[in-house]
Amino acid sequence: MTSKAMLTRPHHIDLDFDHTHIWHPYTSVTNPVPVYPVCRAYGVFIELEDGRVLIDGMSSWWATIHGYNHPVLNKAIVSQLQQMSHIMFGGLTHEPAVTLAKQLVSLTPEPLQKVFFSDSGSVAVEVAIKMAIQYWAALGKTEKNRMLTVRSGYHGDTFAAMSVSDPVTGMHTLFNGTIQTQLFAEAPSCRFHEPCIAEDLADIRLLLERHHMETAAVIIEPVVQGAGGMRFYSPHYLVHLRELCKCYDVLLIFDEIATGFGRTGKMFALEHAGIVPDIMCVGKALTGGYMTLAATLATDNVADAICSGNPGLFMHGPTFMANPLACAVATASISLLESFDWQSSVLRLEKGLQKGLEPCKALDNVKDVRVLGAIGVVELKSPVDMVAVQKKLVDKGVWVRPFGCLVYLMPPFIMLDEELRLLTAAVCDVVTMML
């Protein structure tokens, strides 16, 4: 763990310039929301420029599973930097990429044998969609070029990724006419610990029956629907979905960007169902939150078909694909995860989240409280005032970023019990204030 004493305080952050010139995510430049200037981060803590220290309940959008300034990950970055920071991946290769690919092939189910690196989760989804479309084109079925998914999902903000995100909450209405119209089934209604019956899949079965001739793939977040609503659904749904995709000759894509690398209590969420997709996307925690990197894995069947058709190669190639710094820290992050009993850590966090968020269940403004692995969700009956609620949470000493009707937590795996208790207590206090 990096101590405060080892870190040098940076220069003063010019907030006036920030407000005037920097466009933050999901914000208006004419009516900017407050931002909190950070001077350092270490362990599970974020230190603000004014000296306040916040417990991080978000893992920086779910990525920093080992916390901040971890010495093992720092060392990996510095060591690789002394060799090379970047080299193009077209026509060249390097040890960090090969080592990381070996790890990913080893960690994921055996049919997933091919690894395509990209810059971010959204791009990994774009790659998966292109793979699916190019797969069918190579087989002479160019009419199979649409995606089928479920409502309440989220797969990213780039155009193809946006097209398979929820049509109401996923920004579709702003871009009607410019993104492809995809097929949407009702979201799974069977909760995580419930069985899944035929009625739960009736809508997606009907859409496959009617549209399989034009459908390239079904894309879905396994078990946990993330930014589209933080919903947990039954793994049995995926088992039946796998059978339906085989029956109707449609590829299956899993988006494990948010759920991969232990977040749900399994290394990958697909393990809850015991089935394997044709294509899988990973990102976020891949590098332990240090650098942007993602990967799309595919079966030999998918890869061989793409490369047997015209033009005989996969048509994608990001400039910073397989960046050596990112690959090196990703390798270190995965090795670090495997070096300790992370399953017990996640189980401990799950129990702490259940206990800590339990008081919210009795509040009149709360619709549901649910926990799975290192994910805790308080769903309210009405949308929160994000700016006001965020300030209250910061004043309580925690960093949590609500959205819509949700106040949710995804703490780093290294968070101690007392830190988690303070985090959940702050959430309960603020939710109570909203009554």
**Following DSSP, what letter does each residue of 324-367 receive, concatenated?**
HHHHHHHHHHHHHHHTTTHHHHHHHHHHHHHHHHGGGGG-TTEE
Residue whose C-alpha is closest to residue 196's, from 260, 267, 272, 250: 272
Please state, rounded to an integer, the average pLDDT across all residues of the chain: 95
* CA distance linking residue 357 with residue 411, whole number of Å: 14
The residues carrying an active-site annotation are 26, 154, 255, 284
Q: How far apart are CA 252 and CA 226, in angstroms?
A: 18
Q: Which is more confidently placed, 198 or 132?
A: 132
Percent of the chain with pLDDT over 90: 92
What pLDDT score does 173 carry?
A: 76
pLDDT band at 272 (very low <50, low <70, confident <90, very high): very high
Q: Measured at the alpha carbon of residue 377, what is the angle toward residues 435 and 394, in degrees to the nearest 5?
A: 65
For residue 293, give Cα distances in angstroms to 124, 253, 288, 311: 9, 19, 10, 27
Collect all residues with Cβ–Cβ distance below 8 Å to 25 and sequence separation of at least 6: none
Give the span between the Cα atoms of 62 and 82, in whole angstroms. 29
Q: Is 148 left (phi over 0), alpha (psi -120 to 50) or beta?
A: beta
Q: What's the whole-model pTM score? A: 0.96
Question: Which residue in this structure is represented by tokens 């929301």?
Answer: 33
| 302, two tokens | 């998918």
* AA letter at 92: L
Quick check: 337 and 67 in contact, CB under 8 A?
no
**Above 90 in pLDDT, residue 174?**
no
| Secondary structure (H, E, C), 401-412 | CCECCEEEECCC
With beta carbons less than 8 A apart as the criterion, state whether 234 and 190 touch.
Answer: yes
Rounded to an integer, the average pLDDT of 415-430 is: 98
pLDDT at 69 over 90: yes
Structure confidence at residue 261 (pLDDT)? 98
Is the pLDDT at 389 greater than 90? The verdict is: yes
What pLDDT was estimated at residue 8?
A: 56
Q: List CB contacts of 192: < 8 A, sequence separation 6 or more.
A: 223, 232, 233, 234, 235, 370, 372
Residues 6+ apart with CB under 8 A from 118: 124, 126, 127, 293, 294, 295, 296, 316, 318, 321
* Mean pLDDT computed over 123-151: 98
Quote the pLDDT of residue 52.
Answer: 97
Q: How many CB atoms lie within 10 A of CB 429?
A: 14
Instruction: Give phi and psi for 222, each to the nearest 5.
Output: -70, 125
Q: What is the mean pLDDT of residues 136-158?
A: 97
pLDDT at 346: 98
* Band (257; pLDDT cuts 50, 70, 90): very high
Strands 279-282 and 251-255: parallel
Residue 354 has pLDDT above 90, yes or no: yes
Q: pLDDT > 70: what percent of the chain?
A: 97
Domains in the chain with CATH codes:
4-69+341-433 (3.90.1150.10), 75-338 (3.40.640.10)
- Rounded Cα–Cα distance for residues 411 and 427 (Å): 13
Cβ atoms of residues 223 and 235 within 8 Å:
yes
